[in-house]
Structure 1
Amino acid sequence: MGFSKLKIPRVCEHCSKSFEAKTVTTRFCSVSCANKAGKERKKLEKKQKEKETLLKKYSNKIAEVQTREFISVAEATIMFGISKDTLHRLIKRGMITSVNLGVRLTRIRRSDLEALFTSVELPPKKEEKSKPNFEVGNCYTITEISEKFHADPGTVNNVIRRNKIPTKKVGSFVYVPKDEIDKIFANR
């Protein structure tokens, strides 16, 4: 079997270095990269199999826990992702009802924990501001504002910036909506 004189530019799938492959099916730049990639693939397959076996092993237990009214602290930590310390703190505060049947036999009502997570209130939506009207008759220029309200143009610019009033620049003129400016300067 002879060697090909082809030199195909490739990028190694393991180390991401560029190299010249001699065959169309070459995926790695060296034997060590191929071995490392194979080991990683086997490790991922092993983890996947372990997860599947755990799910098969505990699927009945998970289904049973989800139907019971009272669950243990350890089961609650797994189901709801809360630490044991947090659960005990919630029990002390009286936010969760529990029953202590003996040493390490504290049982928690599952519906109380579910109620903690379902009662999340969203903040009220802020009213969206309407888009400013930059039509010809509805805007002032900076000089018009300073003349009308007897204010320095620098002061007018500071007021616009401080109150976040939208502006539109056309050529050398800066236009500001009349209604926004009138609201601000009417109070002063």
Structure 2
Amino acid sequence: MSTNIRIARICEFCKNEFTARTTKTQYCSLKCSSRAYKARTRQSKIDESNRQTEIAQHPLLEAVKTKDFLNINQASLLFGISRRTIYRIISRGELDIAKFGSRTVIRRCDMDNFFSLPLEQSMLRPVQEFPGLEKCYTITQIQQKFGISPGALYMMIQRHGIAKYSVGKFNYVAKKDIDIIFNAREDEKE
């Protein structure tokens, strides 16, 4: 089955222009085709060697990749971040954990989901200006004034997306935000 078509193409190996007789031709000659094949083979061997070296450097990494639940050390090894960074993510409430005595366990799918969030949502949140100490409650003041447990308060702050401000060793929340939530709650009860 011969064809009379002539197509101007660019060789994928040497980048020179040539005339192809089929629409699938990629290389200008057998020589370029052979060289491209050898380059692909060489690159695959290099990639495999690098992968084997990485496995040898981090033998626990391969075992960790198959687990569904990770402790803090395993998560830091797998994602290449420090333990302290993971604890900061947990303290901000952006990652769910389970505690078994003193052991902290994280689901692998939660870690994957956290790191797959687009930057607009996870990192580029607009930063609100600190309104000042006189216009804020401390967490303890909110608990005493409205009679709410610490866990419920943190869940409510997280659910409504209220900004928390750390000043020294205290966490502050804007009075207007808390008053709006608890006034709305009191109106629902009535």
Query: TM-score, normalised on structure 1?
Result: 0.32
- Work out which of the two has the higher radius of gyration on C-alpha atoms and give 1 or 2: 1
